[in-house]
Structure 1
Amino acid sequence: MSQTATAPGRIRWTTLVTIASAAILLGSETVGASLAFGWAMAGWLGLGDIGTRIFEGLGLILGVAAIVWFFRRAGRAEPWRG
């Protein structure tokens, strides 16, 4: 892939849109799976409503952390600032 020359500090919109789109896709999958995992584990362990909310909260935190990690790593691999 060829890099086009842009002025310093300019935003490469195509790269930014690609990274943001991938982060949204990955994020919806990750957060959904982590919430489902929290719900299933709390149900399996018989922790009730409070335990379910705690496990879902932990799963949500892990899912959001994965999104942030992905976005930062993708920004390093494909710089979106010129």
Structure 2
Amino acid sequence: MAQNPAQPKDLAKGAAAQKPINWLHLSTLIAVAVLVGTEMIGASWAAGWAIGGLLQLDPTVSRVIEVGFTLCGFVLLYYFMRIAIKHEPYRG
């Protein structure tokens, strides 16, 4: 026996049942993202720059290392923000 797909009015109920946005929590999360993101990405870029300088690498290779470390900083920021949103939900 085949399952019936969700009715359009059932989908509308789900969208209407979402909790309202808590603007205080959302502004806190945005502030944390800016503060921690600046620190994390800046430190990652600086680490790539320092490694390139310490090893006296070609400027192109140094830039590649900086970009790689910066991308790692963005990944770390992504996972940090996932955890921050779990602990400080902006809905409800």
Global fold match (TM > 0.5): yes
Match of 2:89, SS state, is: coil
Q: Does 1:24 align with 2:34?
A: yes
Cα deviations by residue, 1:18-57 (Å, 9 ceiling, x for unpaired): 0110111001011111111101101111211111111111
**Higher relative contact order structure (alpha carbons within 8 Å, sequence separation ≥ 6):** 1
Taking only aligned residues, the RMSD between alpha carbons, in angstroms, comes to 1.3
> TM-score, normalising length from structure 1?
0.84
Instruction: Select the residue among 21, 33, 39 that pairs with 1:11.
Output: 21
Map 1:30-69 → 2, pairs under 5 A: 30-69=40-79
Partner of 1:4: none
Alpha-carbon separation, structure 2, partners of 1:65 and 1:35: 13
Given that residues 35 and 60 in structure 1 are in contact (C-alpha distance below 8 angstroms), is that contact kept between their aligned partners in structure 2?
yes
State the structure with more CA Rg. Answer: 2
Match of 1:79, SS state, is: coil
> TM-score, normalising length from structure 2?
0.76
Aligned residue pairs total 76
Map 1:70-81 → 2, pairs under 5 A: 70-81=80-91
Given that residues 31 and 64 in structure 1 are in contact (C-alpha distance below 8 angstroms), is that contact kept between their aligned partners in structure 2?
yes
How high is the sequence identity, in percent, across the aligned residues?
38
Match of 2:36, SS state, is: helix
Alpha-carbon offset, residue 9 of structure 1: 2.7
Unaligned 5+ runs, structure 1:
1-6
Unaligned 5+ runs, structure 2:
1-16
